[in-house]
Amino acid sequence: MNVFRLLGDMSHLLAILILLLKMWKTRSCAGISGKTQILFALVFTTRYLDLFSSFISIYNTTMKLFFIASSYFTIFLMYSKFKATYDSNHDSFRMEFLVVPVGGLAFLVNHEFLPLEILWTFSIYLESVAILPQLFMVSKTGEAETITSHYLFALGSYRLLYIFNWVYRYYFDGFFDLIAVVAGCVQTILYCDFFYLYITKVLKGKKLSLPA
């Protein structure tokens, strides 16, 4: 565990808490992509099956359980409790366009051809593109609430910090996981445009809106 990894995890945790807080306080999930949230639940479920097979630390187990539980709770809020506020018309990205190719790739490019390993690889690839329905939704409506942009910024920061973590681990621990690194870089690149808008607009007190 290094400082980048810890900050990355905290940023990820913060993102989830911001999202839950936004929904709970406003009693609304407007502007949030249910598709992205379903994909995240799938990511956590397929990656953390190792909860049953290997123990790393109390920290690791606790975080995994929280990520899984919060992702399903988010889906419950969006599709049940606050269903009336869910903006499904603008959430039109097709999940199968991500899940199917990513599933195929996980079968072809993995560290080891074992069920748990393929599922882990699937979750890594899927996580890298799971934000696309949300970004698509923002671009379709042309705007995002400020709280939603804070959520996206925290989520993007998490992946950026993980890249620093991998650089650190490569030099100081001799650790290098090509699959995680490539997917993590792709994931971070997807946020670049958003980071630019966040810094130039939201941090200056303006709402995040896209030019027509």
Partner 1 sequence: NGVGGKHDEL
Looking up tokens 């399903």, which residue turns up?
Answer: 72
Core vs surface per residue 126-156: b (16+ CB within 10 A) or e: bbbbbbbbbbbbbebbeebbeebbbbbbbbb
- Residue 175 CB, shortest distance to partner 1, in Å, is 5
Q: Contact with partner 1 (CB under 8 A): which of 56, 69, 108, 167?
A: 56
- Count interface residues toward partner 1 (CB under 8 A): 24
Contact status: 64 vs partner 1 (CB under 8 A): yes
Residue 4 vs 136, nearer CB to partner 1: 4
For residue 40, CA distances in Å to 16, 128, 196, 198 come to 11, 10, 24, 22
d(CA 82, CA 92): 18
Please identify, using beta-carbon distances, which residue of 58 and 212 lies nearer to partner 1. 58
| Minimum CB distance to partner 1, residue 145 (Å) | 27
Reading the block at residue 22, the tokens are: 């936004």
Is 41:71 a contact under the CB 8 Å cutoff?
Answer: yes
Closest CB to partner 1 among 158 and 198?
158
Rounded Cα–Cα distance for residues 121 and 136 (Å)? 24
Site for partner 1, residues 94 to 133, rule: CB under 8 A: 111-112, 114, 117, 120
24 is an interface residue for partner 1 by CB under 8 A: no
Mark 167-196 with x for binding to partner 1 (rule: CB under 8 A) and - for no binding: -------xxxxx-x----------------
198 part of the interface to partner 1, by CB under 8 A: no
Kind and range of the H or E run holding 176: none
Binding site for partner 1 (CB under 8 A): 5, 9, 12, 47, 50, 54, 56, 60, 63-64, 67, 111-112, 114, 117, 120, 162, 165, 174-178, 180
